[in-house]
Amino acid sequence: MKIDEGISKAIQTHLGYSDEEMALFKANPRNAEVLSLTPVLKEKTIVIEVVEAHGCNSQHKKGDRFYFDGTGNLITKLNPKKICCFALSPISALVFGAHELIYAGVDPNQMRFKRTGCFDTGIKCGGWGHIVMELKVEERK
Protein backbone atom coordinates (compact mmCIF):
# COMPACT_ATOMS: atom_id res chain seq x y z
CA MET A 1 0.00 0.00 0.00
CA LYS A 2 1.45 3.36 -1.04
CA ILE A 3 1.00 6.61 0.88
CA ASP A 4 -0.59 9.34 -1.25
CA GLU A 5 1.83 12.21 -1.89
CA GLY A 6 -0.57 14.85 -0.47
CA ILE A 7 -1.02 12.86 2.72
CA SER A 8 2.72 12.25 2.84
CA LYS A 9 3.45 16.00 2.73
CA ALA A 10 0.79 16.72 5.38
CA ILE A 11 2.28 14.10 7.71
CA GLN A 12 5.78 15.39 7.15
CA THR A 13 4.68 18.91 8.06
CA HIS A 14 2.56 17.78 11.01
CA LEU A 15 5.32 15.66 12.55
CA GLY A 16 8.19 17.96 11.57
CA TYR A 17 10.05 15.19 9.72
CA SER A 18 13.05 15.84 7.52
CA ASP A 19 13.03 14.32 4.04
CA GLU A 20 15.24 11.52 5.36
CA GLU A 21 12.86 10.80 8.27
CA MET A 22 9.88 10.85 5.92
CA ALA A 23 11.59 8.32 3.69
CA LEU A 24 12.00 6.04 6.73
CA PHE A 25 8.33 6.55 7.62
CA LYS A 26 7.20 5.65 4.10
CA ALA A 27 9.50 2.61 3.98
CA ASN A 28 7.60 0.99 6.87
CA PRO A 29 4.53 -0.75 5.37
CA ARG A 30 2.69 -0.69 8.70
CA ASN A 31 2.52 3.09 8.53
CA ALA A 32 0.51 3.01 5.30
CA GLU A 33 -1.85 0.46 6.82
CA VAL A 34 -2.37 2.55 9.96
CA LEU A 35 -2.94 5.67 7.86
CA SER A 36 -5.57 3.84 5.84
CA LEU A 37 -7.51 3.33 9.09
CA THR A 38 -7.38 6.99 10.16
CA PRO A 39 -10.96 7.62 8.95
CA VAL A 40 -12.16 4.76 11.17
CA LEU A 41 -10.32 6.18 14.20
CA LYS A 42 -11.69 9.67 13.58
CA GLU A 43 -15.21 8.29 14.00
CA LYS A 44 -14.44 6.95 17.50
CA THR A 45 -14.36 8.41 20.99
CA ILE A 46 -12.47 6.43 23.60
CA VAL A 47 -14.10 6.71 27.01
CA ILE A 48 -12.45 5.59 30.21
CA GLU A 49 -14.95 5.45 33.05
CA VAL A 50 -14.14 5.23 36.74
CA VAL A 51 -16.05 2.17 37.97
CA GLU A 52 -14.67 2.08 41.52
CA ALA A 53 -13.04 4.78 43.62
CA HIS A 54 -12.01 5.15 47.24
CA GLY A 55 -9.64 7.63 48.88
CA CYS A 56 -8.55 9.25 45.63
CA ASN A 57 -6.44 12.35 46.31
CA SER A 58 -7.57 13.85 42.98
CA GLN A 59 -11.19 13.26 44.02
CA HIS A 60 -12.02 10.95 41.12
CA LYS A 61 -15.39 9.32 41.75
CA LYS A 62 -17.34 6.40 40.33
CA GLY A 63 -18.92 7.58 37.08
CA ASP A 64 -16.19 10.08 36.18
CA ARG A 65 -15.22 9.79 32.54
CA PHE A 66 -12.04 10.62 30.68
CA TYR A 67 -12.49 11.28 26.96
CA PHE A 68 -9.96 10.70 24.19
CA ASP A 69 -10.38 11.09 20.47
CA GLY A 70 -10.01 7.98 18.34
CA THR A 71 -6.32 8.58 17.84
CA GLY A 72 -5.65 8.71 21.57
CA ASN A 73 -5.54 12.44 22.30
CA LEU A 74 -7.12 13.64 25.53
CA ILE A 75 -10.09 15.90 24.70
CA THR A 76 -9.39 18.44 27.42
CA LYS A 77 -12.67 20.36 27.18
CA LEU A 78 -14.69 17.19 27.97
CA ASN A 79 -12.61 16.05 30.92
CA PRO A 80 -12.51 16.90 34.62
CA LYS A 81 -10.39 19.93 35.56
CA LYS A 82 -7.88 17.60 37.21
CA ILE A 83 -6.79 14.13 36.13
CA CYS A 84 -4.32 12.24 38.25
CA CYS A 85 -1.11 11.31 36.42
CA PHE A 86 -1.22 7.93 38.16
CA ALA A 87 -4.54 7.24 36.43
CA LEU A 88 -3.31 8.34 33.00
CA SER A 89 -0.37 5.96 32.88
CA PRO A 90 -2.36 2.69 32.94
CA ILE A 91 -5.00 4.19 30.63
CA SER A 92 -2.40 4.32 27.86
CA ALA A 93 -2.23 0.51 27.76
CA LEU A 94 -6.00 0.28 27.28
CA VAL A 95 -5.97 2.88 24.51
CA PHE A 96 -3.08 1.05 22.82
CA GLY A 97 -5.01 -2.22 23.04
CA ALA A 98 -8.12 -0.59 21.56
CA HIS A 99 -6.07 0.74 18.66
CA GLU A 100 -4.55 -2.65 17.95
CA LEU A 101 -8.00 -4.25 17.87
CA ILE A 102 -9.33 -1.55 15.54
CA TYR A 103 -6.31 -2.04 13.25
CA ALA A 104 -7.08 -5.77 13.22
CA GLY A 105 -10.74 -5.16 12.37
CA VAL A 106 -12.03 -6.24 15.79
CA ASP A 107 -14.52 -4.27 17.90
CA PRO A 108 -12.44 -2.90 20.80
CA ASN A 109 -15.46 -3.19 23.09
CA GLN A 110 -14.95 -6.96 22.86
CA MET A 111 -11.61 -6.63 24.69
CA ARG A 112 -11.59 -9.23 27.45
CA PHE A 113 -9.51 -7.33 29.98
CA LYS A 114 -10.67 -3.75 29.61
CA ARG A 115 -10.22 -2.59 33.18
CA THR A 116 -7.19 -1.10 34.84
CA GLY A 117 -6.39 0.69 38.06
CA CYS A 118 -4.36 3.66 39.11
CA PHE A 119 -0.85 3.26 40.42
CA ASP A 120 -1.85 3.92 44.05
CA THR A 121 -2.51 0.68 45.91
CA GLY A 122 -5.08 2.12 48.32
CA ILE A 123 -5.13 2.56 52.09
CA LYS A 124 -5.26 -1.18 52.91
CA CYS A 125 -2.01 -1.79 51.03
CA GLY A 126 -0.04 1.22 52.27
CA GLY A 127 -1.21 3.79 49.73
CA TRP A 128 -3.85 6.50 49.96
CA GLY A 129 -6.59 5.59 47.52
CA HIS A 130 -7.34 3.60 44.42
CA ILE A 131 -9.55 3.85 41.36
CA VAL A 132 -10.55 1.21 38.82
CA MET A 133 -11.30 2.33 35.27
CA GLU A 134 -12.97 0.64 32.29
CA LEU A 135 -12.58 1.27 28.56
CA LYS A 136 -15.46 1.80 26.17
CA VAL A 137 -15.19 2.93 22.55
CA GLU A 138 -18.13 4.91 21.19
CA GLU A 139 -19.02 6.26 17.78
CA ARG A 140 -18.29 9.98 17.65
CA LYS A 141 -21.37 12.14 18.13
- Helix and strand counts by DSSP (H, E) for the chain: 5, 4
Q: What is the pTM of this model?
A: 0.89
Query: What tens digit of pLDDT does each residue of 71-92 get?
Result: 999 999 999 999 999 999 999 9
- Which residues does 77 contact at the CB level (< 8 Å), separation at least 6? none
First to last CA, the chain: 31
Q: Return left, alpha or beta for 71; rule: phi > 0 is left, psi -120 to 50 is alpha, else beta.
A: alpha
pLDDT score of 2: 82
Q: What is the pLDDT of residues 87-112, one digit of tens each?
A: 999 999 999 999 999 999 999 999 99
In this prediction, residue 22 carries a pLDDT of 95
pLDDT surpasses 80 at 141 = no
Q: 60: pLDDT confidence band, cut at 50, 70 and 90?
A: very high
As a whole number, the mean pLDDT across the chain is 94
Closest CA to 42 of 2, 102, 93, 119: 102
- Beta strands (DSSP E) in 1-141 are 44-54, 65-69, 115-117, 130-139
Judge residue 80's burial from the number of C-beta atoms within 10 Å of its C-beta, 0-12 exposed, 13-18 middle, 19 or more buried: middle
- Assess contact for 87 and 58: CB atoms under 8 A: yes
